[in-house]
Structure 1
Amino acid sequence: MTEFEQGLLLGVLIGEGHFGGDGRQPQITVRMHTKHAQLFQTLVRLCPASKLYGPYEHGGRSYYQWMVRGDSLRQQLVPLLDRLPLQQTDTHVYERYMDMKERYAL
């Protein structure tokens, strides 16, 4: 990943990312309007084992949902996020990320 792509990914996760899990495995999720389809295709390209779901229609809103979990999260995304300046960039998001890592022993 280029420095620009790393920054893009970090920015999307800071602005729109959810750091959680399903009780068995951790996951990072981004949900946005379908007008961001091109950005979602970029996220899938940057994280090839990620999944893109949708488009969904709910409550008058049309959106996609992008997810990274399992080995892709553990082996690709977590090591990348650990190298990026997340803590210096957004403490709140960093704390949510660290909570996910703690809850799922990453």
Structure 2
Amino acid sequence: MDAFTKGLILGLLIGEGHFGGDGRQPHVTLRMHARHEKLFTWLVAAVPGSRLYGPYNHGGRVYYQWMVRGAPLRELLARLDPGILATLDPPTYERLQKMKRDYGLD
């Protein structure tokens, strides 16, 4: 994964990322308006094993949801530099660290 790809993914996670899980396995999701479909298509190609769901229409909003979990999530997290998040956006870093603690990814 090149520096541009890492940086764009980190930016998306800072701006739109949700770090959570279903109680059994962790996941990271991004939910954005359907007009960002090309960005989501790129993201699925950039993060093998990630999935794109939608488009959904809820409350007049049309959106896609991208999700990564399981081995693809672990691989993605290994490639990203959490130190950059800690420096640039501590709240996002803390949300990521909480998910990692909650699901034993440390």
The number of equivalent residue pairs is 105
Change (3 A) 1:84 1:39: farther
**1:81: Cα distance to partner?**
2.5
Q: Which residue of 2 aligns with 1:66?
A: 66
Q: Is the 8 A contact 2:29 2:68 kept in 1?
A: yes
Give the whole-Å Cα distance in 2 for the aligned partners of 1:46 and 1:19: 19
- Off by >4 Å, runs of 4+ in structure 1: none
Q: Is the 8 A contact 2:29 2:65 kept in 1?
A: yes
Q: Identity over aligned residues, as a percent?
A: 59
Mark the runs of 5 or more structure 1 residues left unpaired by the alignment: none
Q: Aligned-residue CA RMSD in angstroms?
A: 1.0
Cα shift readout 1:65-106 (whole Å, capped 9, x = no counterpart): 0000011111x1111234561111100000000000000000
Q: Does 1:95 align with 2:94?
A: yes
Q: TM-score under structure 1 normalisation? A: 0.95
Q: TM-score under structure 2 normalisation? A: 0.95
Amino acid at match of 1:45: A
Mark the runs of 5 or more structure 2 residues left unpaired by the alignment: none
